[in-house]
């Protein structure tokens, strides 16, 4: 252990940065040739890039409920436009118990508002349903990046206003201002450590970015994944969508650079963790599918990068072959800040894989993935399903009473050979089926698995 004068602080700061529908493959550091993400590439190179991170329910609302509470979707937010139970403690409460200041900026989508009742972007979430954050400035849901409204405060300090510009830029402005305020407070020696969240809608559809980013991407130049079928209507849509999608991600990457610059300016970069991830991916035509709620890699696999602390308190770097599920993010973040997660959190604290001073648990053998209540929307799987992804590179998915998908991702990363109904692979199917059954039992879930 380092000596007391140069040792890492017992508590560090942490910032979550995450977008909506950003699949893991869509970063230049993860091999996508269609875009350039230098700030995230640097964050990955200096820190850790967990290439086996998954969304435990590839849909916005359930993911976010599990993210904040470290509870599985069936016991928290089981579907689209369900309200997170107001009495349920969140990661903000856990941080505040240790005297951290907490702040949240951006998309929430946890108040159960139904779009059929009006525009969710104008719905005001009451203070008691904002997850316990000290500062909260956000919105329920919004699919118009140049017409985004935020609200916050309470009583005489309540506000609601439109953002004057592109959503990602304006929300980043709010976080950057907050970082400067935290730096000022620290210099005045009357502040605690802090936990902050930036949650932006992009790269969620509609796939629109500021003009200077859109100009970089010609749909005809987009390279498609090999599992996009050669069907003209699909290819035409995918090329148009991806041109905007990649532009949105490059804009988000630029804003990550702005956040890092603000941390340097306030001398907070050396003791602040930056955790970058997404709520789920986007199919973009792979297997002929679009959007989310599907169990294929493009939908469930998410970026997950832990960086920061450079250069004084350098943690372990590289690409750990460790599965990360959505319920693990909150306890891992607490662990990175020197806080043992509370007993009510279901996920694993994986902070020991980043920091030598934290206990390193055994790597999870698998991740449990659910679709509890289907949305019924177009381009979404319309039946419930459950899945398990193993740390040795296999994936098994079941519909109710029916095996559905089985892939060996080691030899088939684009999932082009479904082995679920091939008796030559019955041993692997049974192994994964039994592990999935244990996940269902251990988490108190209910789902009618097939009889094999």
pLDDT (tens digit per residue) in 137-178: 999 999 999 999 999 999 999 999 999 999 999 999 999 999
Q: What is the pLDDT of residue 315?
A: 60
Residue 264 confidence (pLDDT) above 90: yes
- Domain span at residue 192? 13-364
Residue 448 confidence (pLDDT) above 50: yes
Q: What is the pLDDT of residue 314?
A: 52
Q: Is 193 helix (H, G, I), strand (E, B) or coil?
A: coil
Long-range contacts of 393-401 (CB under 8 A, 24+ apart): 394/428, 394/432, 395/295, 395/432, 396/420, 396/429, 396/432, 396/433, 396/435, 396/436, 397/295, 398/433, 398/436, 398/447, 398/449, 398/450, 400/447, 400/448, 401/448, 401/449, 401/450, 401/451
- Calculate the average pLDDT of the chain: 94
Q: What is the pLDDT of residue 7?
A: 43
157 and 194 both lie in a single domain: yes
227 and 132 both lie in a single domain: yes
Residue 9 confidence (pLDDT) above 90: no
Residue 306 confidence (pLDDT) above 80: yes
Residue 51 confidence (pLDDT) above 60: yes
Q: What is the pLDDT of residue 421?
A: 97
357 and 393 both lie in a single domain: no
30 and 150 both lie in a single domain: yes
Domain count, the chain: 2
CATH number at 212 reads 3.40.720.10
User: pLDDT band at residue 311, thresholds of 50, 70 and 90?
Assistant: very low
Residue 1 confidence (pLDDT) above 90: no
Residue 303 confidence (pLDDT) above 80: yes
Residue 4 confidence (pLDDT) above 80: no
Residue 189 confidence (pLDDT) above 80: no
Residue 119 domain-assigned (yes or no): yes
395 and 355 both lie in a single domain: no
Beta-carbon count within 10 A of 417 CB: 12
User: pLDDT band at residue 186, thresholds of 50, 70 and 90?
Assistant: confident
395 and 303 both lie in a single domain: no
* Structural element, H or E, at residue 357: none
Per-residue pLDDT averaged across 278-305, rounded?
98
139 and 25 both lie in a single domain: yes
Return the exposure string of 52-91: e unless at least 16 CB atoms fall within 10 Å of the residue's CB, then b.
bbbbbbbbbbbbbbbbbbbbbbbbbbbbbbbebeeebbbb
Residue 373 domain-assigned (yes or no): no
Beta-carbon count within 10 A of 212 CB: 11
Q: How do residues 196-225 score in pLDDT, each as one tens digit? A: 999 999 999 999 999 999 999 999 999 999
The residue among 25 and 3 whose pLDDT is bigger is 25
Q: How do residues 93-109 score in pLDDT, each as one tens digit? A: 999 999 999 999 999 99
Lowest model confidence (mean pLDDT) among 151-165, 177-191, 243-257, 261-275: 177-191
Residue 4 domain-assigned (yes or no): no
User: pLDDT band at residue 313, thresholds of 50, 70 and 90?
Assistant: very low
Q: What is the pLDDT of residue 10?
A: 55
Q: What is the pLDDT of residue 332?
A: 98
Q: How do residues 10-44 score in pLDDT, each as one tens digit? A: 569 999 999 999 999 999 999 999 999 999 999 99
337 and 414 both lie in a single domain: no
68 and 109 both lie in a single domain: yes
293 and 411 both lie in a single domain: no
β-bridge partners, 54? 301
Q: Is 272 helix (H, G, I), strand (E, B) or coil?
A: strand
């Amino acid at each position: 252990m380092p000596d007391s004068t140069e040792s890492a602080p017992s508590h560090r700061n942490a910032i979550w940065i995450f977008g909506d529908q950003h699949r893991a493959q869509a970063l230049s550091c993860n091999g996508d040739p269609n875009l350039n993400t230098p700030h995230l590439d640097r964050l990955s190179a200096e820190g850790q890039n967990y290439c086996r991170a998954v969304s435990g329910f590839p849909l916005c609302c359930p993911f976010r409920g599990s993210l904040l509470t470290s509870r599985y979707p069936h016991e928290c937010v089981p579907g689209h436009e369900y309200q997170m139970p107001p009495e349920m403690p969140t990661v903000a409460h856990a941080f505040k118990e240790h005297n951290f200041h907490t702040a949240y900026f951006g998309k929430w989508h946890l108040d159960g508002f139904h779009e059929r009742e009006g525009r969710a972007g104008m719905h005001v979430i009451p203070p008691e349903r904002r997850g316990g954050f000290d500062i909260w400035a956000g919105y329920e849901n919004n699919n118009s990046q140049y017409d985004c409204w935020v609200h916050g405060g309470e009583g005489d300090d309540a506000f609601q206003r439109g953002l004057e510009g592109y959503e990602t830029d304006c929300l980043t402005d709010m976080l950057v201002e907050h970082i400067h305020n935290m730096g000022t407070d620290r210099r005045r020696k009357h502040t605690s450590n802090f936990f902050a969240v930036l949650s932006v809608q992009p790269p969620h559809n509609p796939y629109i970015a500021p003009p200077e980013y859109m100009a970089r991407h010609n749909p005809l130049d987009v390279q498609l994944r090999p599992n996009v079928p050669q069907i003209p209507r699909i290819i035409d849509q995918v090329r148009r969508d991806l041109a905007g999608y990649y532009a949105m991600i490059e804009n988000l990457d630029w804003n990550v650079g702005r956040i890092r610059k603000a941390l340097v300016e306030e001398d907070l970069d050396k003791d602040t963790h930056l955790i970058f991830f997404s709520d789920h991916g986007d199919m973009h035509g792979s297997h002929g599918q679009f959007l989310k709620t599907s169990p294929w890699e493009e939908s469930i696999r998410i970026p997950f990068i832990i960086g920061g602390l450079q250069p004084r308190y350098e943690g372990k770097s590289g690409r750990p072959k460790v599965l990360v599920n959505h319920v693990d993010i909150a306890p891992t973040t607490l662990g990175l800040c020197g806080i043992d997660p509370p007993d009510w959190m279901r996920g694993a604290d994986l902070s020991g894989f980043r920091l030598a001073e934290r206990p390193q648990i055994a790597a999870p053998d698998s991740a449990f993935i659910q679709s509890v209540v289907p949305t019924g929307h177009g381009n979404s799987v319309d039946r419930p399903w459950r899945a398990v992804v193993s740390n040795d590179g296999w994936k098994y998915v079941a519909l109710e009473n029916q095996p559905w998908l089985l892939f060996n991702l080691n030899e088939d990363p684009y999932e082009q050979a479904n082995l679920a109904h091939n008796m030559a692979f019955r041993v692997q199917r049974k192994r994964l089926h039994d592990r999935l059954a244990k996940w269902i039992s251990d988490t108190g879930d209910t789902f009618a698995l097939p009889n094999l």
